[in-house]
Amino acid sequence: MIKFFIFFLILFTSSYLKGGEISGLPKIIDGDTIHINTYKIRLEGIDAPEIKQTCKKSFFKFSSIIGFTLQKDYSCGFDSKKELIKKINNSEVNCSYKSRDRYKRYLSTCFKDKINLNKWMVRNGYAVSYKKYSKKYLDDEKYAKKNKLGIWRGDFTRPEKWRKLN
């Protein structure tokens, strides 16, 4: 009995530490969280605006000499979710994970075909690199910022800071 318990413990621990794969049709919760069947998955290394978060974008520039710009609020959290939904387009997603977070979500890199969805979200400005946990997508964030893509078209509060304030 003890040998069986030790064998089971070693088997469970080693498979948990190695990580694994989760595949299927996802339900998109927001720009960095999806569910596949009963698995709650957090796209690792990125941070998308929260569903209730708003950002500002320019809608009228008066003049480059005066430098006056009118901005309006928009639902950047909802836009982030909407863009992830459009990118996945009711297709199967494959996610690989190595660990879980404090909310028991699988911290994963997810792919639609060969497209890294984590990277795509940051590179297109629908999420930022989550620098606190990973530097993996910093170059993609710089690209989106330089090219004024997504949330970089205007002003926004980084999602981590927005959560603390709200």
Q: Residue 123 and residue 84: Cα distance in Å, rounded?
A: 12
Q: What is the Rg, in whole angstroms, of the alpha carbon atoms belonging to the chain? A: 19
Class of the domain covering 20-165: mainly beta
Q: Residue 95 and residue 54: Cα distance in Å, rounded?
A: 29
Q: What is the pLDDT of residue 71?
A: 80
pTM assigned to the model: 0.84
Q: Where are the domains of the chain?
A: 20-165
Q: Which two tokens stand for residue 164?
A: 């603390």
Cβ atoms 84, 117 nearer than 8 A: yes
pLDDT along the chain (166 residues), means of 10: 41 53 98 98 98 88 65 95 98 97 97 98 98 96 98 96 96
